[in-house]
Amino acid sequence: MHESPLEQDAKLTFADIRDAFSTQARVINALVLRETKTRYGEHKIGFLWAILEPLIMVLVFVGIFSQIRTDSPGGMPLIPFMLSGIVPFTLFRDPMTQMQGAIAQNRQLFAFPQVTTFDVIIARGILEVMILSGVFIFLLAMTDLAGYDINIERPLEVLAACILLAMMGIGFGFAFASISPILPSMKQISAAFLGRPLFLSSGLFFTAEAVPAAARDYLLLNPLMHMLELLRSAFFYEFESAYGSWYYASIWAFCTLAAGLLIHQAMRRRAVVGI
C-alpha cells in the first residue's frame, strides 16, 4: 500500500525536526564542554571558587547579622536562612551576567553553519545553572554535616522556585547578550540597575514580614523577593510566607524569558556584526 504525498511530507517534516533538534543538542553540548574547559580547564581553582564565593558571602553576612540581632529571622536557623537566599539568588544573577558576553566573545564560532547565536548564549546559561545547582546541593550537604538539620519541607516547590529564578536570569541574559555587542555599555547599565539594587532588595537577608508595611509594598514589586519567599516557605517547616505569590513570580519569569528570546530574535544579526 502506497503512502499519500501528504503522509510522506508529514514523515519528512517530522524527521527533519528530529534531526534538527538532535544536531542542535549536540552543538549545545559541545559548546557547554568548550565553555567549561575555557573557564576551568587551566585553573582548577575555578570550580573551588564557585563553591567558596557563596560560602564566604554566607559566612560574612551571618557574622554581620549575628552582631546586629540575636534572634533567628522568621524562626529559621541563621546559616540555612542565609544559604537559602544567597545561593538561589545567584541562579538569577550569574546566568544573566555570564551570558552577556556570549556573542561578542564567540564570533569566530559563527563561521560554522551549525552554530547560532542562540546556541552560544544558551550554552553559557545551562553551564551556570548546572554549576550553581551543584554548589547549592553541595553547600546544603555540608551544612547538614556541620550539625544543622537540613530537612526540606516541600522539595518540588523549592525546585520550582529555583527554576523561576533561573528563567528570569536566562531571559535577561538573552536580552543583554543580544544588545551588548551593539551597546557595549549595557554591562555597566545592567550592573547599575540590576546588580546591587536587586541584591539588597530581594529579601536575601530579611523576610517580607520583617519589613515595615510602607516599605514592604514597594519591595514586593520585586519578583525576586516573591521567589525567595516562596522558596523559604517550601524549604523550612518553621516559616510560611503570607506574601509570596506563585502567580506573580511565574508571570515575571515566563514574560522575562519570552521578552529575552524575542529581543534576541530581533537583534541577533546585528549583534553578530556588532553594529
| pLDDT at site 6 | 46
Hey, what's the torsion of the CAs at 54, 92, 217, 154, to 10 degrees?
-80
Q: How does residue 43 score in pLDDT terms, banded at 50, 70 and 90? A: low
Q: Report residue 130 as a C-alpha cell.
A: 548546572
CB atoms within 10 A of CB 65: 17
127: nearest Cα among 170, 86, 185: 170
Q: What is the pLDDT of residues 152-180, one digit of tens each?
A: 999 999 999 999 999 999 999 999 999 98
The DSSP result for 150-182, as a single string, is: ---S-HHHHHHHHHHHHHHHHHHHHHHHHHTTT
Beta-carbon-side half-sphere exposure of residue 190 (alpha carbons within 13 Å): 23
Q: What is the pLDDT of residue 274?
A: 62
- Determine contact, residues 267/179, Cβ cutoff 8 Å: yes
Residue 73 contacts residue 210 (beta carbons within 8 Å): yes
Mean pLDDT taken over the chain: 86
Q: How many domains does the chain have?
A: 1
Q: Provide the whole-model pTM.
A: 0.88
Rounded Cα distance between 46 and 66, Å, is 30
- In terms of Cα–Cα distance, which of 89, 80, 93 is closest to 139? 80
Which band of pLDDT confidence, cut at 50, 70 and 90, is reported for residue 71? low
Mean pLDDT score, 118-131: 93
Question: Contact at 8 Å (CB) between 174 and 265?
Answer: no
> What is the crossing angle of helices 78-99 and 223-235, to 10°?
140
- pLDDT tens per residue, range 17-26: 777 778 888 8
Q: For residue 62, is pLDDT > 90?
A: no
Q: What's the rounded Cα separation, in Å, for the pair 235 and 244? A: 13
Residue 18 is predicted with a pLDDT of 75
More confident residue, 237 or 46: 237
User: Which cell numbers in the block locate residue 39?
Assistant: 573557564
Are the C-beta atoms of 185 and 179 separated by less than 8 Å?
Answer: no
The average pLDDT across 217-243 equals 93
C-alpha cell at 189: 547599565
Between the alpha carbon of residue 214 and those of residues 221, 229, 243, the distances in Å are 12, 18, 14
Neighbours of 122 (CB within 10 A): 24
Q: State the pLDDT at residue 66.
A: 79
Question: Which 8-state DSSP code applies to residue 87?
Answer: H
Over 60: is that where the pLDDT of 264 sits? Answer: yes
What is the domain range of residue 180? 5-273
Q: What is the arithmetic mean of pLDDT over 224-230?
A: 96
Read off the pLDDT of each residue in 59-73 and give the average, rounded to a whole number. Answer: 79
For range 67-87, the mean pLDDT: 83
pLDDT of residue 106: 86
